[in-house]
Structure 1
Amino acid sequence: MTRTIQYTIFLSRPSDVESHMEAVKQAVLDANLVATPLGVRFEVFDWRTDATPGLASEPQARVNEQSDHHDALMAVIGGTLGTPTASHASGTVEEIERAITKSATSVFGQNSVMIFFKDVQLSLNSDLDEAKRVQDLKSGLGPRGILYRAFGDDDALREGVLRCIGVLIATHLSASDSGRTTEAADQERTELSPLASQSDDPPEPEELGILDYSQIITERIDAATQSTSQIQQALESLGRQTTEASSEISAAISSEDNSKKKRIINEVAKSIDACATSIEGSGEEMRAQFGGALEAIRAVIDIQASDLSPEAAIEEINIVIQMTASLDPTIETTGSQIADFGNTLAQLPRLTKELNSAKRRLLKVIEALVADLATLRIENASLHAYAISRNQSRASPALLN
């Protein structure tokens, strides 16, 4: 009879992703349908429901005591990190840090730390400081060898969990097939990435080189700049049309001829609607191109830091640092200009159904665009800090001076 070894996965998360926990637990149950016949099984320990009460210096300390007895950690993070503890940014962060430390002696190695970040759409009402805390945590994982996966919905999260569990199963079987005990596997293990693509997936981006990425960066920033110009031109054009029609609008409002009023007002509504269509398309393009440029910049930083000499790496990464610094005021200014236009537009009175509809649509497009630009600023600031940290890690004090 096959002996089944059970591993426990500690489930960590702040409260804003509570609705996704059932998807995680179900994915682990589904994975066990494959794992159990192979002699391995996984159990989820959810501290919110499974932790036992007791005395400790603070609530988190009691959770930590019980998390120490688990074989792996799975953390899910959304738009917030949660409540700070005595020593860390939040309980979730503290649990992740403890799991990273423990991974050095885990049978699963660094694969024992599985982190999922939800794709969160920021809005004008979002807490940007909290979003930056999440981004800072995310940016700090890669240099430490901890991989993470992004997800948008329960299906994507479930797929990611299944893939991670698959790697844990493979690690367990690898240790068993080579005749090693769990204790021996702690000392000698094969590191497998839970986020690695399957063999039939497209080539990974790291196959590209510095020159490839440099071309991508140039092309994407040029395309993003062009999209930004198109947005500004659309707003300027609408402003001119509104100004030119202002005297007619004033005359129409004071006129007794309602049909004439509506005709003039609805012409303005058509211009507003056309502006919304233009900005919507250009905004999506700008966001995609800027985002792609930032991803390529991060890849260049990693290659430069690993492949070049310390002196050359510092020089090249300094160029990247200057680039990210110069992007910030551009993004900020664009966002401010668009937000100001939105505030002006919001003051238009509700005169006709067509005008109200067009105004509401354009305001919605502007709000989404301003939120996208705020997200880009956070990502760019995080990338700027990442470049500085890579430089510091590569340089001796003499090189930094």
Structure 2
Amino acid sequence: MAKSVTLFNIFLVSPGDLIEEREMLAEVIDELNHTTANLLSIKLELIRWETNIFPSFGDDAQDVINKQIEDDYDVFIGIMGGRFGSPTNRFGSGTLEEFTRAYEKSKQDGGTTKIMMYFKNVSLSLNEIDIEQIKKIQDFKKGLGPQGGLYWDYNKAIDFKDLARNHLNLLLPKLVNEYRLIAAKPAPEKKKVEESEDIIVFGAEDIEEVEEIGYLDSLIVVNDYFTKIKDSAGRITIYMVDMSNKLGKGTEKISGIKHIPEQARIREARKIIDDTADDIMLFVKKTNVEIPKYRDAVTKGFNAYSNVYVNSRSFASNDEELLELEVSKNTLEESINFGLLSLASLKETVAELPAMTSKLAKAKKEYLKTIDKLISEFELSLKLLEDTNNKK
């Protein structure tokens, strides 16, 4: 059956030394169009000069790109490595010009346009180092903080691919919700440029919420969200333990009817199996209620965590406070790792169950879908924990 989808454009910008990352982002977009985007009834289109620009003339090459793109995008993804880029007739580089246009666009539309900036930690040989290019990159990075920006560093191209996938998975549901809210309201007046001061970066609304309350309060916020993540993971783990116990009892009951007459044994076995299917579906129902709560806590918790470290650089922060935050983060990581191990074990147990009744077959199918969603959520959390370690 045909369905209506909403198109979101993602504009990729970088100097010419990041070809591998550009190709990897194209792979991520294609992957998301078959997974998250498909589930959200949206389609992502990656806009980049390699595929969306045709030869033409203007003030310079960047002017040609500007005129053809016309700032028609919803998400701006910028990447910098060892090169700042070639100057245009208006800015120090094409990448800087495109970023500036995106920044102004985001201010004018009240943050509807999202900006995600990434910087590669490159290792260059002496004959490759261009001091002037490196200094321009460093100056640009330093300027993002005062503009309200949160950026992400990475080491290898494959790290960027994982980051882009994880961040877009977090961003897309928010993007869709914002679009639906805007579509449901009368068209608002555009903000004047001077009325908006914050650059909109990945997880924009949550970052703004945390920044407004300041550094000390945000320490409390991040610990609150980390507690919510741990509590949610704990509830899910309790559901899993309960499910495992019920599966064990079902197996014992099956073993206990081996010696009764065959027809009675078949009827009793079917009843036990269908009861097990009911237990599985109850687990699925409770867990699917918990997953959005877990995801929301993860999104806001890690945005708050990043905000703490961004703000801590602006003054002499208390190392003891940050150390306590690290302890909380490590405890959270242990909890998630335990849950992930339990998930893998329970998934294998249920996957091996023979489809003895149609009810069990259906329950097994729904169960495995739910387990895969949970594994994805937990793995994303661990990846974000790893990213925060690299970020500091």
TM-score (norm 1): 0.55
Residue among 292, 299, 303 paired with 1:291: 299
2:135 equivalent to 1:111: no
One-letter amino acid of the structure 2 residue matched with residue 111 of structure 1: E
The CA distance in 1 between the partners of 2:44 and 2:362, in whole Å, is 41
2:55 equivalent to 1:52: yes
The CA distance in 2 between the partners of 1:129 and 1:76, in whole Å, is 24
Residue among 247, 251, 268 paired with 1:260: 268
1:282-321 aligned at under 5 Å gives the runs: 282-306=290-314, 308-309=315-316, 312=317, 316-317=321-322, 320=325
The CA distance in 1 between the partners of 2:175 and 2:10, in whole Å, is 19
The CA distance in 2 between the partners of 1:217 and 1:305, in whole Å, is 17
Residue among 343, 347, 353 paired with 1:338: 343
The CA distance in 1 between the partners of 2:309 and 2:220, in whole Å, is 14
CA contact (8 A) 1:135 1:378 kept: no
The CA distance in 2 between the partners of 1:362 and 1:63, in whole Å, is 54
CA contact (8 A) 2:62 2:94 kept: no
Residue among 132, 138, 142 paired with 2:162: 132
Aligned residue for 1:349, secondary structure, equals coil
Q: Give the corresponding residue for 2:86.
A: none
Q: Give the corresponding residue for 1:220.
A: 225
The CA distance in 2 between the partners of 1:260 and 1:328, in whole Å, is 44
More moved, 361-370 vs 333-342: 333-342
CA contact (8 A) 2:239 2:283 kept: yes
The CA distance in 2 between the partners of 1:10 and 1:350, in whole Å, is 44
Q: Give the corresponding residue for 1:199.
A: none
The CA distance in 2 between the partners of 1:356 and 1:368, in whole Å, is 19
Aligned residue for 2:313, secondary structure, equals helix
Pairs aligned (count)? 291
Tell me by how many angstroms 1:276 deviates: 1.7
1:2-401 aligned at under 5 Å gives the runs: 12=12, 15=26, 16=29, 48-52=51-55, 66-67=64-65, 99-102=94-97, 110-111=103-104, 115=114, 131-134=161-164, 151-152=175-176, 155=179, 166=190, 170=192, 193=198, 195=200, 204-250=209-255, 252=257, 255-257=262-264, 258-306=266-314, 308-309=315-316, 312=317, 316-317=321-322, 320=325, 323-324=328-329, 327-386=332-391, 388=392
More moved, 216-225 vs 10-19: 10-19
CA contact (8 A) 1:335 1:373 kept: yes
Change in CA separation of 1:23 and 1:363 when aligned onto 2, cut-off 3 Å: closer
- For structure 1, the 5+ residue unaligned runs are 1-8, 26-43, 55-61, 89-96, 118-127, 139-147, 175-189, 197-202, 389-401
Aligned residue for 1:280, secondary structure, equals helix
One-letter amino acid of the structure 1 residue matched with residue 176 of structure 2: G
CA contact (8 A) 1:135 1:382 kept: no
CA contact (8 A) 1:111 1:193 kept: no
Cα deviations by residue, 1:145-195 (Å, 9 ceiling, x for unpaired): xxx996238946997xxx9x956xx55xx9xxxxxxxxxxxxxxx985575
Change in CA separation of 1:11 and 1:282 when aligned onto 2, cut-off 3 Å: closer
Tell me by how many angstroms 1:224 deviates: 2.3
More moved, 257-266 vs 326-335: 326-335
The CA distance in 2 between the partners of 1:365 and 1:375, in whole Å, is 15
Change in CA separation of 1:365 and 1:137 when aligned onto 2, cut-off 3 Å: closer
Tell me by how many angstroms 1:346 deviates: 0.7
CA contact (8 A) 2:288 2:370 kept: yes
Cα deviations by residue, 1:58-86 (Å, 9 ceiling, x for unpaired): xxxx98795377897566669xx9xx999
Cα deviations by residue, 1:307-341 (Å, 9 ceiling, x for unpaired): x23xx366655654565455444423322321221
Tell me by how many angstroms 1:45 deviates: 9.8
Identity level (%): 13
Aligned residue for 1:226, secondary structure, equals helix
Change in CA separation of 1:231 and 1:191 when aligned onto 2, cut-off 3 Å: closer
Change in CA separation of 1:295 and 1:194 when aligned onto 2, cut-off 3 Å: closer
Tell me by how many angstroms 1:371 deviates: 0.7
Cα deviations by residue, 1:81-132 (Å, 9 ceiling, x for unpaired): 9xx99989xxxxxxxx95442369x6x5942686567xxxxxxxxxx96652
CA RMSD of aligned residues (A): 5.1
CA contact (8 A) 2:273 2:357 kept: yes
TM-score (norm 2): 0.56
